[in-house]
Chain A
Amino acid sequence: MALHWLRLCGLGLLIAASGARAQLQIEITGATEKRTPIAIAPFAGESALGTSVTGIVRADLERSGQFRALELPPLNPVPTEAASVNYAEWRSRLADAVVVGSVSSRPDGRFEVRFRLHDVVKQASLGGIAYTMTKEQVRATGHRIADYVYEKLTGDKGVFSTRIAYVVKRGNRYELQIADADGAGEETALASFEPIISPAWSPDGRRLAYVSFENKKPVVYVHSLLDGKRNVAANFRGSNSAPAWSPDGKTLAVTLSREGGSQIFLVNPDGSGVRRITTSSAIDTEPRYSPDGKWIYFTSDRGGTPQIYRMASAGGEPQRVTFEGSYNVSPRPSPDGRTLAYITRNSGRFQVALQDLANRQVQIITDSDRDESPSFAPNGRMILLATVIGGRGLLSAVSADGRFKQRLSAAAGADVREPAWGPFIE
């Protein structure tokens, strides 16, 4: 399944942003107002790696929408983390920050990469790290360096080392894939001739819960990404769907029809201990825990139209959360618990809305018309979603302020859908 990430610059230029093994295509369609200009000097000796580690750092930082990597002329001598840094010179290049580093070969055949980040404005070193790695670890190490730079300069943790899950449909074949947050290095966790929907990462990032239709009905599985082992979490009579992990990873909220209708139950990830938590004659589905575990947000049409409600996860009377419009579904609380992302039908178009849970202000942040399945990055700065453009299913990522957008699509003939952004990994 060949997917490619490409970058569409503001000027409409399409450039391959990563190597031949890259899989999704990325297209940037909007830009944030102010991006921090950063100089990432090619690391001395990095050509020995085959893959440019600074190219990965640069692509990561630019993809965040918060940085603009400066074009640099060939530097001679190549600056390294050990060499002196002339802040005035980097200031003259209009850089607010600069990353310098070097790569050296070790006697054991591995490589050592060292870098240092400098704040050019404050004329201060912001530290650095040395990594020992093989050529196969260049991409992962580049993401770690980008995470370090991002966190030092923005105060938020970077998400470049995180992974995403999504489903690719090509013809009658469905593949649940796992890729790096930049879409590269994708691997197929599950291939099937029946649909796969609703992947949900366990809080430790080691397992995925999802719904597979391989038995001609929806069944919830928990799938270990470490060894490929799967167990049935919910296969009761009727439909079993919409899995959501509790923040402690000990419980799944699921939608079951085993007692008639579609109601929300809790179940242990091994399939034991099922207990019902909603009691209505309506459709109650799409449960999601708040990050503190105290609330479960869900979709219900108990009021006549599908709207979002929340109830205490310990049980209790649901409260309605959405009031504007006649179709509000797929609630996703932000990692800080302050915002709720969901899909709203707005004049016949399905778009991503954000509600400030403190003051109930609602903002629609997309302008597409078939958006589905929003998923927050673990730092809350971006939202990944599925949409349809020109009849093709693709993923879109939008900054939480709605200003910065990019699209990720598969090669022609394949639809990408059902994204889920994984947690931070240590």
Chain B
Amino acid sequence: MRANLSLLFTALAAAALIAGCGTTPEDQQASGAPVIDPTTGKPAAGKPGAQPQKVPGVDLTAKADPKGVDPRVKAGALARRSIYYEYDQFDIKDEYRALVEAHAKFLRDNPSAKMLIQGNTDERGSREYNVGLGQRRSDGVKKMLVLLGARDNQIESVSLGEEKPQSEGHEESAWSKNRRSDILYGGEY
């Protein structure tokens, strides 16, 4: 097939050589004429070529990590920071009640302490809708902490959606680790 094609192309090239002599009125008009700029209808003097666009870069990867964490929040019951959820669920299971109560007590006893709660989802579905689902989880934790005596202005509830998985796998064992709320204290974020 390849040989046949190249034979054909050779034949066509020869035909092109011969046919090049033949002209039509249209060709004669075009022959030797300058290129017309279609926007002006006049002979084109040469448009400036399209300019490739340069994008200046911003590099955030050199940013330093925040410092100054209260050592008390890294020890004992307060060292437990994650609450896990069932699929499509947002309520806090009973097994995490003691965890939430310990953090509520710390916030109650330390009014200047600040907390960030990050809600997370597994990877399935829309990234932005998952931001909404993660928000529902972190809002639920905040609500319980406030019910237990923490002040509203101590706690910010946010969502990371599916963007920060604890486990990178693509099956339920990984997904169950990624449907979670994480607690961070001031200085950790």
B139 interface contact, C-beta 8 A: yes
Interface membership of chain B positions 133-169, coded 1 if the CB is closer than 8 angstroms to chain A and 0 otherwise = 1111001000000000000000011111101100000
Dominant secondary structure of chain A at its interface with chain B: mixed
B44–A299 CB distance below 8 A: no
Q: In the bound complex, how far is the Cα of B161 from the Cα of A133, in angstroms?
A: 47
A182 interface contact, C-beta 8 A: no
A18 interface contact, C-beta 8 A: no
Cβ–Cβ < 8 Å partners of B55 in chain A: 178, 187-189, 225, 228
A137–B15 CB distance below 8 A: no
Cβ–Cβ < 8 Å partners of A85 in chain B: 26-27, 30
Count residues of chain A with CB under 8 A from any CB of chain B: 96
Interface size, B (range): 35 or more
Most buried by B among A217, A260, A286: A217
Q: A163-B53, A327-B125 are in contact. Are A88 and B118 (CB under 8 A)?
A: no
Cβ–Cβ < 8 Å partners of B52 in chain A: 136-137, 139-140, 185
Q: A225-B55, A257-B135, A257-B158 are in contact. Are A140 and B50 (CB under 8 A)?
A: yes
Cβ–Cβ < 8 Å partners of B57 in chain A: 187-191, 228
Most buried by A among B55, B118, B133, B136: B55
A239–B135 CB distance below 8 A: yes
Q: Which of B34-42, B75-83, B98-106 contacts A (4 or more CB under 8 A)?
A: B34-42
A218–B127 CB distance below 8 A: no
B61–A197 CB distance below 8 A: no
For the complex formed, measure the closest distance between the CB of A301 and the CB atoms of chain B, giving whole angstroms: 8
For the complex formed, measure the closest distance between the CB of A282 and the CB atoms of chain B, giving whole angstroms: 9
A217–B118 CB distance below 8 A: yes
A73 interface contact, C-beta 8 A: yes
B125–A83 CB distance below 8 A: no
B60–A192 CB distance below 8 A: yes
B173 interface contact, C-beta 8 A: no
> Which of A129, A195, A213 interacts with B37 by CB under 8 Å?
A129
Who on chain B is nearest to A110 by CB? B49
A197–B35 CB distance below 8 A: no
Interface membership of chain A positions 238-265, coded 1 if the CB is closer than 8 angstroms to chain B and 0 otherwise = 1101100000000000010100111000
> Which of B45, B128, B133, B156 interacts with A241 by CB under 8 Å?
B128
> Which of A82, A190, A286, A373 interacts with B58 by CB under 8 Å?
A190
B20–A86 CB distance below 8 A: yes
A132–B46 CB distance below 8 A: yes
B96 interface contact, C-beta 8 A: no
Q: In the bound complex, how far is the Cα of B58 from the Cα of A226, in angstroms?
A: 12
For the complex formed, measure the closest distance between the CB of A170 and the CB atoms of chain B, giving whole angstroms: 12
> Which of B15, B44, B125, B159 interacts with A350 by CB under 8 Å?
B125
A361 interface contact, C-beta 8 A: no
B73 interface contact, C-beta 8 A: no
Q: In the bound complex, how far is the Cα of B52 from the Cα of A139, in angstroms?
A: 8
B160–A89 CB distance below 8 A: no
A359 interface contact, C-beta 8 A: no
B127–A373 CB distance below 8 A: yes
Cβ–Cβ < 8 Å partners of B127 in chain A: 197-198, 372-373, 418
B128–A137 CB distance below 8 A: no
A131–B50 CB distance below 8 A: yes
B47–A130 CB distance below 8 A: yes
> Which of A86, A115, A187 interacts with B54 by CB under 8 Å?
A187
Cβ–Cβ < 8 Å partners of A143 in chain B: 50
Q: A228-B56, A257-B159 are in contact. Are A82 and B33 (CB under 8 A)?
A: yes
For the complex formed, measure the closest distance between the CB of A237 and the CB atoms of chain B, giving whole angstroms: 6
Who on chain B is nearest to A287 by CB? B128
> Which of B23, B44, B51, B132 interacts with A285 by CB under 8 Å?
B132
Cβ–Cβ < 8 Å partners of A269 in chain B: none
B59 interface contact, C-beta 8 A: yes
For the complex formed, measure the closest distance between the CB of B121 and the CB atoms of chain A, giving whole angstroms: 11
Q: A136-B52, A163-B53 are in contact. Are A238 and B158 (CB under 8 A)?
A: yes
Cβ–Cβ < 8 Å partners of A303 in chain B: none
B126–A89 CB distance below 8 A: no
Most buried by A among B60, B131, B163: B131
A125 interface contact, C-beta 8 A: yes
B4 interface contact, C-beta 8 A: no
B32 interface contact, C-beta 8 A: yes
Given contacts A191-B58, A192-B60, A193-B60, 12 further A-B contacts (CB under 8 A): A73-B9, A82-B32, A82-B33, A129-B44, A132-B47, A143-B50, A213-B160, A214-B60, A230-B58, A257-B135, A283-B133, A301-B132
Among all A-B residue pairs, the 5 with the closest Cβ atoms: A133-B49, A84-B27, A283-B132, A228-B56, A73-B9
Could you pull out 27 A-B pairs where Cβ atoms are within 8 angstroms?
A: A75-B16, A82-B33, A86-B20, A89-B20, A130-B45, A131-B47, A131-B49, A133-B49, A136-B52, A137-B50, A140-B51, A144-B49, A161-B50, A191-B58, A191-B59, A191-B60, A192-B61, A194-B60, A197-B127, A230-B58, A238-B135, A241-B128, A257-B157, A285-B131, A301-B132, A330-B126, A373-B126
* Chain A interfacial positions (CB closer than 8 Å to B): 71-77, 81-89, 92-93, 112-116, 123-125, 127-134, 136-137, 139-141, 143-144, 161, 163, 173, 178, 185, 187-195, 197-198, 211, 213-218, 223, 225-228, 230, 237-239, 241-242, 255, 257, 260-262, 283, 285-286, 299, 301, 306, 327, 329-330, 343, 345, 350, 372-373, 391, 418
